[in-house]
Amino acid sequence: MLRAPWVLFLNFWTLVRMMIRAPLRYVVSRLSKQERRFVRLELPAGLALSGEVQRFGPVSLRRRERGAWWDFREALDRIAEDAGIEGVYLKMRRVEGGLAEVMALGRALEGLRAKGKRVVVHLDQAMLREYALASAGDVVALTPAGRLYTFGLRMELSFYGEALERLGVRADFMHLGPFKTAMHRLSRRRATQAQVRGTRQLLEGMADVTLGAIAARRGVSSSEAEALLELAPLSAREAARRRLIDRVVFAEDVKASLEAEQAGGPPVALVSMADYLKVARAAPQWRSLRRAGRLGVLSLSGAIMMGDEGGLVPMRGGITPKETMKALERLRRDPTVKAVLLHIDSPGGSALASELIWRAIRDLDAEKPVVAFLGNVAASGGYYMAVAARRIVAMPETLTGSIGVIAGKVSGGALLERLGVHTASVSVGGTAGFGSLSEGLSGQEIENLRRDLREFYRRFLLRVAEGRRLPKRRLHRIARGRVYTGRRALGLGLIDQLGDLEDALALACREGGLDPRTAPIALIDPRPTGLRGLLKRGASLEVPLPAGVEDALVFAALLRRPGALAFWPHALPAE
């Protein structure tokens, strides 16, 4: 009953805003005829779909606002259609997000160039990721004393097996698949041949995608692009000689260099993205009395946990069945939501939690089409969830697959003895010591665990075979814990198409019979909101921790509950 007055109020407020902004737009349009205007872009931290965390002292309250990616996307859309804007200027600093997200930002800039707008990028210095993004500009400038630190890709793995043995700590882990090596770092002294081969193939795939994009953007050959990895660091003069950059200037002189392009022409003006969005012309969003169909968007990022591992999930912003299933149920029951896009960015975690979420996604897809969009990584449990969707879209750089399971525990009985702590135990049953922190797994417990792992692995293969319509025998050959780039995963049938978030949004709209250009988005955040929701989780305080420590704590939390894990091989923090 209250919808009609509310819609009328919203439309009236839209009209008022249009009238207020009209004079500002007139002034801006007059100035634009006397200036060459560039918008100073602000990059989002990757594909940030959900709103930022709002803090009140040590307490964190998460808002249900949209993330920075939507503002970035809106700015590019408006700039592309604005005749008064010549292009954009990007002062490149350290880039947040994974490789897949960084390359997606670069493709968004390429799309803006394709619509006739100039993209000017300035660097003081750059690692490979920053330069790969900067190469999307048609003018790339570097500070005279700057360097391109585009060193080759490297992944170092430390193995603690011998050190733990010397300390008196025993690590008992079983895995199915020679490439399922997440726990090798705790139980072994050296890397296995399969681990080295799998890691090398993964790094080579990432290098091929990155260098291929740079070569295409800069108009150089593959061998010339490879100089980035072989000759780094490169000075500004050497980078210019190799056509890797266009200009050698300080950031303060970029504006003057643009003005020098047209001697005696109009001056160059740089406008902040926030100011531009305040006055840029946009089609008014008139509300209809009839409820329009919407596209539901649910972002699932972080480790997958059952939620009873000791209160660490809120700290990591992880994925739990309870909250995720509630969000999926909201989408299912909302009659205005015609299709759902799942943004998955997860290295996996609990196999049981992954199965529960898989079932909820499959049930939703039975009523409304679900499209999974894979972010930086959708491996192991992250991929387990994705195969429940009707279609899967991944970026060329997305780490995909790792179909396999691991299980085990760490025990420190010998260490306690050396410290003078003596443990006495009384047990009933051959598997009573499974959860003991002082005693390793017995022969019977190891055999039982292997049997359980085989069952979980067969279940994982079954889920993938059903979802991807792949023969299980062929699937087993490409599974066994192997991790692939999105490009390789497409050729193996693990995903349906390559694309960025825009492509996934468009596909989900088409699946639900919606117009991708006009369909409103219902962004659902599965995380707890408000102080009450956080307190229910038992961890409302955030404790700042050194880099990598939180990842180790997540592993520790998962290992507190005996059961199979679906984690990708390099989920432990790299050294």
How high is the pLDDT of residue 533?
Answer: 46
Clarify whether residues 507 and 404 are in a common domain.
yes
Clarify whether residues 369 and 255 are in a common domain.
no
- Report the distance separating Cα 360 and Cα 358, nearest Å: 6
Structure tokens at 79: 């700039």
Element (H, E) at 122: strand 118-123
In a domain, 185, yes or no: no
- Report the distance separating Cα 207 and Cα 226, nearest Å: 9
Clarify whether residues 405 and 368 are in a common domain.
yes
- Report the distance separating Cα 32 and Cα 26, nearest Å: 10
In a domain, 402, yes or no: yes
DSSP at 66: B
In a domain, 363, yes or no: yes
Clarify whether residues 356 and 393 are in a common domain.
yes
Residue at which a domain ends, from 222, 251, 279? 279
In a domain, 481, yes or no: yes
Clarify whether residues 508 and 556 are in a common domain.
yes
In a domain, 192, yes or no: no
- Report the distance separating Cα 75 and Cα 70, nearest Å: 9
Residue at which a domain ends, from 279, 312, 339? 279
Q: In the 3-class helix/strand/coil scheme, how is 238-266 assigned residue by residue?
A: HHHHCCCCCEECCHHHHHHHHHCCCCCCC
Q: Closest Cα to residue 113, out of 86, 131, 91, 92?
A: 86
In a domain, 406, yes or no: yes
Amino acid at 376: N
Structure tokens at 389: 């969707």
**Mean pLDDT for each consecutive 10-residue tract of the chain (575 residues)?**
57 58 54 77 81 48 65 91 92 87 93 94 94 94 95 85 85 81 83 87 90 93 90 93 94 91 85 85 54 86 80 60 93 94 92 95 96 94 96 95 86 78 74 73 82 90 94 89 92 95 94 90 72 42 52 70 75 45
How high is the pLDDT of residue 370?
Answer: 97
pTM of the model: 0.84
How high is the pLDDT of residue 357?
Answer: 97
Clarify whether residues 269 and 321 are in a common domain.
no
Clarify whether residues 263 and 394 are in a common domain.
no
The residue segments making up the domain with residue 134 are 31-51+62-151+232-279
Which CATH number covers residue 557? 3.90.226.10
Clarify whether residues 394 and 489 are in a common domain.
yes
CB contact set of 226 (below 8 Å; sequence gap of 6+): 211
Clarify whether residues 339 and 254 are in a common domain.
no
Cα dihedral across residues 64, 70, 71, 74: positive or negative:
negative
Number of domains in the chain: 2
Residue at which a domain ends, from 279, 309, 342? 279
Clarify whether residues 390 and 272 are in a common domain.
no
In a domain, 220, yes or no: no
CB contact set of 555 (below 8 Å; sequence gap of 6+): 571, 572
Q: Which residue is associated with the tokens 């939507």?
A: 70
Clarify whether residues 376 and 319 are in a common domain.
yes
Under DSSP, is residue 542 helix (H, G, I), strand (E, B) or coil? coil
Q: Percent helix, strand and coil across the chain, each rounded to 5?
A: 45, 20, 35
Q: Indicate the burial class of 187 (C-beta count within 10 angstroms; 0-12, 13-18, 19 or more).
A: buried
Q: CB–CB of 189/82 below 8 Å?
A: no
| Bond prior to 233 in cis (omega within 30° of 0) | yes
Q: Give alpha helix (H) positions in 428-559.
A: 443-468, 472-478, 486-492, 501-511, 530-537, 549-559
Clarify whether residues 252 and 399 are in a common domain.
no
In a domain, 135, yes or no: yes
Structure tokens at 352: 């049981």
